[in-house]
Amino acid sequence: MDTDSDNKAEGTSILVAYFSLAGEQYGVGVIEEGNTAIIAKMIAEQTGADTFEIEAVNAYPETYDGLLEVSRQEMSDNARLEIAFRTRCTI
């Protein structure tokens, strides 16, 4: 059986990149950390990976209704997320 130290192959690097939203969630309330962030960190812990959070240039609204409005407009415009490029990895 693999142990945590055996999961990361020698001489290789693993990166878990993720995009996640916190704030007001439908039927849940306000959350401090998004679901995708939580799962990405669990994967990184099990694999010995580094994590990298993908961030939007323009922050999304933290309210559910605001987010819904923006997402509908983006879908209508066939828009793509503009990504902010920052160097920030955790080891």
Asked, for residue 9, whether it belongs to a domain, the answer is: yes
- Provide the phi-psi class of 90: left if phi over 0, else alpha when psi is between -120 and 50, else beta: beta
Per-residue tokens: 14: 């693993």
Asked, for residue 40, whether it belongs to a domain, the answer is: yes
* More reliable by pLDDT, 18 or 6: 18
Residues 6+ positions from 25 with CB-CB distance below 8 Å = 31, 64
Provide the 3-class DSSP secondary structure of residue 17: strand
Q: How many domains does the chain have?
A: 1
Asked, for residue 90, whether it belongs to a domain, the answer is: no
Quick one: average pLDDT of 25-53? 89
Asked, for residue 45, whether it belongs to a domain, the answer is: yes
CA separation, residue 37 to residues 10, 19, 21, 61 (Å) = 26, 7, 8, 17
Asked, for residue 91, whether it belongs to a domain, the answer is: no
Range of the domain at 55: 4-84
Asked, for residue 89, whether it belongs to a domain, the answer is: no
Question: Residues 56-83: pLDDT tens digits?
Answer: 898 888 888 898 999 999 999 999 888 8
